[in-house]
Structure 1
Amino acid sequence: MVGALDFLERARILARNLPEMQSNLNFPWLIYNAYKTMVRRNVNMEKLKDDYFLTNISRRQSAHLQKFPDTKLINLGIGDTTMPIPKSITSSMVERADALSTIEGYSGYGPEQGEKALKDAIANTFYGDLGIKSSEVFISDGSQTDISRLQLLLGSSVSIAVQDPSYPAYVDTGVVVGQTNVFQESEGKYGNIEYMKCFADNDFFPDLSTASRTDIIFFCSPNNPTGSTATREQLAQLVEFSRKNGSIIVYDAAYAAYISDDCPRSIFEIPGAKEVAIEISSFSKFAGFTGVRLGWTVVPSELLYSNGFPVIKDFDRLVCTCSNGTSNISQAGGLACLSPEGLKSIQTIIDFYKENARLIIEIFTSLGFKAYGGKNAPYVWVHFPGKRSWDVFTEILEKAHIVTIPGSGFGPCGQGYIRFSSFARREDIIEASWRLKNLYS
């Protein structure tokens, strides 16, 4: 009751200040205005599409469960890992947590850039012969956080390019920072972004000979969603393109641990890359840390702005401003991941997911569909010629009770494709294969 009286009192105060409105006290909009601030909404947030496509999928999934409460729904959509973290890794986190309850083992704030032991282990494990120093490694709570930090670092005045299709966070963070124009419904993309078209005909690698020059190039390999992996020759083209144009590559290597052929696992395997590239990566899909949250970014000291100032100095300053460091418990888990025992147990899980992907490819190939990815990534990218992605998504959900991801959510070139995730239990993969065979045979 007190709240209601206070609400009306605010309306009366407003009315006294606006005599011409005194006779309209009962209008809801006037009472609303009594609480409305004078702060304008961020114009860049206004540009974002109201309906984030993954949220749309969640709503449709919930509605389907209400409609078919007794049906087992199989989720081959969102890229969340499903296998448990190996005991040797979780034990290290438990030990670190227990130590916090003792005088000797307690620790508070750590270095904003991450604990030295983990930085050293990342530099040695992933970049041992590439000349990356541990001082160039920055620990975070995940690569998606670092994507946002990099956008904040680079500012609103830079121009950006993304693969089409690609992970939506690159575009959405660009929108929020102010690097884009409004969303163009007719074209399915934002203005002022270079969408580098990636088709099956070009092995999902953009034609750089026709690409426009931009300040920043977001590039993911193995790619989410297509599962394609850039070859050494292709990445050499990308580095040369960036060097020629004075661009910076933000290289997303979150799925590099799934590469089993001779494709590079790091952009820094390419000569000259340290002068034009930043690399982000994560323990999420590598070690099942989607809930634990741990990632890293490498900013080489050789990477300079146009005025010769080192990018690493600005990034270090930004990290110190925006963060008090990553959880020490998570970092203990990351260190255990990079031990010989941890790496061996993690590889077993990666092999399990890759076998799931092989089974998904096998069923679609047997049905006459073109299926891509899967070999070096946990995602399979399936083409449904002549159909729209959301229509296929709905068909598979309603008739096979399987959740997928419509390819159009990743960009205009994803239209007609569906992304299937291999992050599932084997029995669900087998059951899904049987359902898909019955649907499309």
Structure 2
Amino acid sequence: MCYQLSSCAFIPRAISVQLSTNQTSFKSDRAQRVDHLTKIPRSVNMESLQNGYLFPEIFMRECLYAKRNPHARLIRLGIGDTTEPIPDIITSAMAKQALALSTAQGYKGYGPEQGNRELKRAIAETFYQDMQVKENEIFVSDGAQCDISRVQMLLDDSLSIAVQDPTFPAYIDSSIIVGRGGRFKAESGKYKKIVYMKCGAENNFFPNLSTTPRTDLIFFCSPNNPTGSAASQQQLKQLVEFAKANGSIIIYDAAYAAYISDESPRSIFEIPGAKEVAIEISSFSKFAGFTGVRLGWTVVPEELLYANGYPMIKDYDRIVCTCFNGASNIVQAGGLACLTPQGFQALKRTMRYYMENAKILVDTFKSVGLKVYGGKNGPYVWVQFPGLSSWQVFDQILERAAIVTVPGTGFGPAGEGYIRLSAFGHRECVLEASRRLTKLL
């Protein structure tokens, strides 16, 4: 459905982007209202996060628009949150597991921190056929974003990192929090210690590795959020060879892999030798509609070794057992139902629905002569507006078409001049958005 703007009580989930912040005002407010201070200094790493939040900024602009236009019907194509119902074969499995907890025979307490063995086997068989990924290398979790932070704990905070530009901000923020980012440089929109690998249309959304300096860690997302592009077999082969030559580790985010429709790899482990240099993180959120249910997994191969030969999987297992009590057994029952033949077929229908939405949006922008990317192997559409800033485009589309998008600059300096639209919407909203955009543009 589309949304009537009667109030602004809902605050969307936040991701970070550099915005202007008023530190003087913050200090003044604090001085007026605080009666006691501890002697604990603030973390210098948290102080390095001198940035605001993208979605609260978007939310604020929505609210201002709503006050001026109380009867407008807003279409939200910004945040990448799923909207279609979860198939009942999956929710029934979760309901059955929940009801069983009220019986002596069906009650279960703690499960293995690493995840239900049956679910781990199903993940291996569904997503890693012929890749020699073992059950014990799969760690079931409460979602990919949590696993990004757990992987950060696994690796020393002195290690250097590289990210795609544009990129999903959690890689940068979690790196800064553990001390790898350095200070923010306002003139460039970048953090001092982070290598930004430009991935634009001019290089097919894949970094020029011949000019990329060596780093210890390489964060890489395919299909990419925000651009929707998927790396090819040859490109990932180059990436694995680059990591091997430099003794680096790839942190590979495959959260959107189930949406790939061509021959692009769905896992980094399709590339020979990748198990020696890569960790893969994935999620049920986007292909199964589990954004609010929370379930994901991480693969740490036995072949992945520290410089001294010690297996990283042993340390990751220790981190998981220390910081996590395991995913909910109710949710894991739902995950297992997702990977049955009937459950997965039902999910494929939902994924096709979202990708049909993406095609509608892609065709809309192409029809007015704009350059548009994505929408083929991922549920995001990445549109270029030459000569305009991302926030200018965002404001114009909001003010004149009542559509919420995401300014590309929120994903890094290379996103300037672009906007991202999510295909995770109801069909009637996407069609209405298409009509409005065609009229506007």
2:307 maps to which residue? Answer: 306
1:137-169: per-residue Cα shift (whole Å, max 9, x none)?
001100000001111111311100000001000
CA 1:107–1:246 in structure 2 vs 1: closer, same or farther (change >3 Å)?
same
1:141 maps to which residue? Answer: 142
2:162 maps to which residue? Answer: 161
1:361 paired with 2:367, answer no
1:374-417: per-residue Cα shift (whole Å, max 9, x none)?
00000010000011001100110111100000000000000000
Structure 1 residue 61, shift from structure 2 partner: 1.7
1:271-296: per-residue Cα shift (whole Å, max 9, x none)?
00000000000000010000000000
2:212 maps to which residue? Answer: 211
Q: State the superposition RMSD in angstroms.
A: 1.2
SS at match of 1:108: coil
SS at match of 2:73: coil
Tell me, in whole angstroms, the C-alpha distance in 1 between the residues paired with 2:68 and 2:231: 42
SS at match of 1:382: strand
2:25 maps to which residue? Answer: none
Tell me, in whole angstroms, the C-alpha distance in 2 between the residues paired with 1:41 and 1:58: 28
1:293-321: per-residue Cα shift (whole Å, max 9, x none)?
00000000000011111010000000001
Amino acid across the alignment from 1:288: G
Tell me, in whole angstroms, the C-alpha distance in 2 between the residues paired with 1:261 and 1:31: 59
Q: Where do 1:233-312 residues align within 5 Å?
A: 233-312=234-313
Corresponding pairs, count: 413
Amino acid across the alignment from 1:208: L
Tell me, in whole angstroms, the C-alpha distance in 2 between the residues paired with 1:151 and 1:251: 13
Tell me, in whole angstroms, the C-alpha distance in 2 between the residues paired with 1:110 and 1:264: 32
Structure 1 residue 63, shift from structure 2 partner: 2.4
Structure 1 residue 43, shift from structure 2 partner: 1.1
Tell me, in whole angstroms, the C-alpha distance in 2 between the residues paired with 1:55 and 1:289: 23
SS at match of 2:266: coil
CA 1:31–1:230 in structure 2 vs 1: closer, same or farther (change >3 Å)?
closer
Tell me, in whole angstroms, the C-alpha distance in 1 between the residues paired with 2:219 and 2:401: 35
Unaligned runs of 5+ in 2: 1-28
Structure 1 residue 29, shift from structure 2 partner: 8.7
Tell me, in whole angstroms, the C-alpha distance in 2 between the residues paired with 1:194 and 1:97: 46
Tell me, in whole angstroms, the C-alpha distance in 1 between the residues paired with 2:30 and 2:149: 37
1:408 paired with 2:397, answer no
SS at match of 1:222: coil
CA 1:71–1:211 in structure 2 vs 1: closer, same or farther (change >3 Å)?
same
1:8 maps to which residue? Answer: none
CA 1:29–1:331 in structure 2 vs 1: closer, same or farther (change >3 Å)?
closer
1:331 paired with 2:332, answer yes
2:418 maps to which residue? Answer: 417
SS at match of 1:73: strand
1:92-142: per-residue Cα shift (whole Å, max 9, x none)?
000000000011100111111011011110011101211000100001100
1:322-379: per-residue Cα shift (whole Å, max 9, x none)?
0111111110000000000000000000000000000100010000000001000000
What is the TM-score when the length of structure 2 is the normalising length? 0.92
SS at match of 2:331: helix
Unaligned runs of 5+ in 1: 1-27
Amino acid across the alignment from 2:205: F
2:316 maps to which residue? Answer: 315
Tell me, in whole angstroms, the C-alpha distance in 2 between the residues paired with 1:34 and 1:352: 55
1:164-196: per-residue Cα shift (whole Å, max 9, x none)?
001000000011010011111110111100000
Tell me, in whole angstroms, the C-alpha distance in 1 between the residues paired with 2:31 and 2:97: 56
Q: Where do 1:114-193 residues align within 5 Å?
A: 114-193=115-194
Tell me, in whole angstroms, the C-alpha distance in 2 between the residues paired with 1:411 and 1:278: 23
Structure 1 residue 60, shift from structure 2 partner: 1.6
SS at match of 1:437: helix
2:19 maps to which residue? Answer: none
2:8 maps to which residue? Answer: none
SS at match of 2:306: coil
Farther off after superposition, 29-38 or 261-270: 29-38
Farther off after superposition, 181-190 or 76-85: 181-190
Tell me, in whole angstroms, the C-alpha distance in 2 between the residues paired with 1:230 and 1:34: 54
Amino acid across the alignment from 1:169: A
Amino acid across the alignment from 1:352: Y
Tell me, in whole angstroms, the C-alpha distance in 2 between the residues paired with 1:330 and 1:355: 28
Tell me, in whole angstroms, the C-alpha distance in 2 between the residues paired with 1:87 and 1:366: 38
1:66 maps to which residue? Answer: 67
2:384 maps to which residue? Answer: 383
Amino acid across the alignment from 2:382: W
What is the TM-score when the length of structure 1 is the normalising length? 0.92
2:398 maps to which residue? Answer: 397
Q: Percent identity?
A: 62
Farther off after superposition, 327-336 or 44-53: 44-53
Structure 1 residue 30, shift from structure 2 partner: 8.8
SS at match of 1:308: coil
Tell me, in whole angstroms, the C-alpha distance in 1 between the residues paired with 2:278 and 2:32: 54
Amino acid across the alignment from 1:121: A
Amino acid across the alignment from 1:324: N
Amino acid across the alignment from 2:313: I
Structure 1 residue 49, shift from structure 2 partner: 2.9
1:39 maps to which residue? Answer: 40
1:347 maps to which residue? Answer: 348
Tell me, in whole angstroms, the C-alpha distance in 1 between the residues paired with 2:88 and 2:69: 37
CA 1:97–1:237 in structure 2 vs 1: closer, same or farther (change >3 Å)?
same
Larger radius of gyration: 1
Structure 1 residue 66, shift from structure 2 partner: 2.5
1:99 maps to which residue? Answer: 100
